[in-house]
């Protein structure tokens, strides 16, 4: 069971899961390809990359948006949906060509939740805004 599933409050349910774009796996592929030429020296780095990417959770519920990362330790960013002021997209040229980017959710005060390397950032933006600012 994931951290986010464990942390759900009463009446809270997961509305959406934002998957990482396949570009996020490229460092793992690179380090894995180097295992044989380096006689296994890069194997621990490849294992670390695999665990790092697998430990990232990016979701939103009917009450909040949540970003979690960490293999052994845990680091989270959370924001209540009612606190969301803006949802911004940051996409470079490669992101536009291949369909990935960063979604920055800004709330009241100085808090931000940032989803990096997310697949189809425009869809992520629409889904968050549809739940945080429902049409009247």
Scanning the structure block, which residue is given the tokens 């629409």? 126
Give tens-digit pLDDT for 52-62: 999 999 999 99
Domains of the chain: 13-132 (2.30.29.30)
Give the model's pLDDT for residue 136. Answer: 52
Give tens-digit pLDDT for 63-121: 999 999 999 999 999 999 989 999 999 999 999 999 999 999 999 877 899 999 999 99
Distance CA 84, CA 23 (A): 28
Contacts of 110 (CB under 8 A, 6+ apart): none
Give the model's pLDDT for residue 134. Answer: 66
Q: In this model, does residue 133 exceed pLDDT 90? A: no
Choose among 51, 117, 113: nearest CA to 90.
117
């Amino acid at each position: 069971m994931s951290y986010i599933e464990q942390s759900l409050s009463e009446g809270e349910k997961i509305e959406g899961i934002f998957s990482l774009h396949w570009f996020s796996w490229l460092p793992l592929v690179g380090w894995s390809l180097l295992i044989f030429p380096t006689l296994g020296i890069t194997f621990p780095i490849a294992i670390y990359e695999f665990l790092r990417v697998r430990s990232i959770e990016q979701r939103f519920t009917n009450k909040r948006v949540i970003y979690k990362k960490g293999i052994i330790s845990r680091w989270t960013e959370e924001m209540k949906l009612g606190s969301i002021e803006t949802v911004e997209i940051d996409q470079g040229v490669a992101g536009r060509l291949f369909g990935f980017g960063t979604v920055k959710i800004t709330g009241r005060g100085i808090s931000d939740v940032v989803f990096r390397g997310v697949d189809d950032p425009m869809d992520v933006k629409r889904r968050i805004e549809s739940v945080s600012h429902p049409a009247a």
